[in-house]
C-alpha cells in the first residue's frame, strides 16, 4: 500500500490523496463488479468535467454535469443501465405549488452479467430544483424545465451512491485508488495458456508412447 504525492502547484483544496492497492484490499468479498469497473469508481473526476458556480452562502460550489455522469454510467455498465423518475408530474407540481421547489424521487438500475445471469444494481435518491415563478400569476414559469432539472439532480445523486463523482461531493473523504495486479481478463488469459500447455504436454507424452 503506497500513497502517491499530489502534483506541484495544486492547492490543498484540489489535492487528492492517491493510493495503490491490490484488488483484495479494495473489496473484502467477491464483488459483482470486475476489476476495471471497480477502478472506474475509484478514479477521480477529470478537471475538465468539473464546474464552479456561486454558492448561496458565499464562495463557490463545485459540481459535475448530468451528461458526464451518463458517460461514466455507460462505461461502468456497458450501456446496460436505466434511470426512472418515480414521482409523477402531478405529484411534483402539487409539492412545487406549496414549497416553490420541485422534488422528485428516482432510481438508477445498472445491469451486470455474472456467469450468464444479469444482476441488477439499484440506487435510489431524491433530486430538487427551485421553481421559477411568474410575477403576475404566481404560477410556475416553465415547470417542465424545473422537472427536468430536478431529474438531472436526482440522477447525479443516485450515481453518487455508486461512487461516481465522490471526489466532488465527498472531497474530504475521497481517496483515489489505483488497483494493481492482474485484471480479470489477464487472469483468464493466464489460465487458458496454462491449460493449453498442459494439453500440449499430454499430447507429446501420448505421441511418444505411440511411437514406441
pTM score over 0.85: no
Taking the C-alpha atoms of residue 92 and residue 128, their distance in angstroms, rounded to an integer, is: 10
pLDDT of residue 190: 58
Question: Are residue 175 and residue 199 in the same domain, yes or no?
Answer: no
Order of strands, edge to edge, in the sheet holding 117-130? 81-85, 101-114, 117-130
pLDDT of residue 65: 96
Give, in order, the Cα–Cα distances in Å from 1 to each of 20, 104, 117: 6, 42, 34
Question: Are residue 189 and residue 109 in the same domain, yes or no?
Answer: no
pLDDT of residue 13: 47
Question: Are residue 72 and residue 137 in the same domain, yes or no?
Answer: yes
Q: Which domain holds residue 90?
A: 13-181
Q: Give the number of other Cβ atoms within 10 Å of residue 17's Cβ.
A: 13
Mean pLDDT (10-residue bins), the chain, 212 residues: 44 60 75 88 91 85 95 96 97 92 98 92 97 85 94 97 90 79 58 71 65 58
pLDDT of residue 64: 95
pLDDT of residue 170: 81
Question: Are residue 131 and residue 150 in the same domain, yes or no?
Answer: yes
Does residue 6 belong to any structural domain of this protein?
no
Does residue 120 belong to any structural domain of this protein?
yes
Does residue 8 belong to any structural domain of this protein?
no
Question: Are residue 65 and residue 116 in the same domain, yes or no?
Answer: yes
Question: Are residue 106 and residue 193 in the same domain, yes or no?
Answer: no
Question: Are residue 187 and residue 171 in the same domain, yes or no?
Answer: no
- DSSP state at residue 163: T
Give, in order, the Cα–Cα distances in Å from 33 to each of 14, 40, 113: 29, 10, 9
What CATH number is given to the structural domain containing 51?
3.30.390
Amino acid at each position: 500500500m503506497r500513497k502517491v504525492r499530489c502534483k506541484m502547484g495544486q492547492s490543498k483544496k484540489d489535492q487528492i490523496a492517491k493510493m495503490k492497492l491490490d484488488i483484495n484490499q479494495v473489496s473484502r468479498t467477491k464483488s459483482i463488479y470486475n476489476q476495471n469497473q471497480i477502478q472506474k469508481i475509484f478514479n477521480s473526476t477529470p478537471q475538465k468535467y468539473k464546474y464552479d458556480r456561486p454558492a448561496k452562502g458565499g464562495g463557490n460550489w463545485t459540481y459535475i454535469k448530468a451528461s458526464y455522469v451518463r458517460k461514466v454510467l455507460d462505461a461502468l455498465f456497458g450501456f446496460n443501465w436505466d434511470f426512472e423518475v418515480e414521482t409523477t408530474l402531478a405529484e411534483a407540481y402539487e409539492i412545487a405549488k406549496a414549497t416553490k421547489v420541485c422534488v422528485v424521487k428516482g432510481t438508477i438500475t445498472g445491469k451486470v452479467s455474472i456467469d450468464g445471469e444479469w444482476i441488477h444494481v439499484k440506487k435510489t435518491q431524491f433530486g430538487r430544483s427551485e421553481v421559477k415563478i411568474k410575477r403576475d400569476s404566481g404560477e410556475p414559469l416553465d415547470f417542465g424545465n424545473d422537472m427536468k432539472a430536478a431529474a438531472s439532480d436526482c440522477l447525479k445523486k443516485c450515481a453518487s451512491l455508486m461512487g461516481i463523482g465522490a471526489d466532488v461531493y465527498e472531497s474530504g473523504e475521497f481517496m483515489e485508488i489505483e488497483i494493481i495486479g492482474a485484471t480479470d481478463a489477464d487472469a483468464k488469459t493466464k489460465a487458458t495458456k496454462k491449460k493449453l500447455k498442459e494439453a500440449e504436454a499430454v499430447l507429446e507424452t501420448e505421441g511418444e508412447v505411440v511411437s514406441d
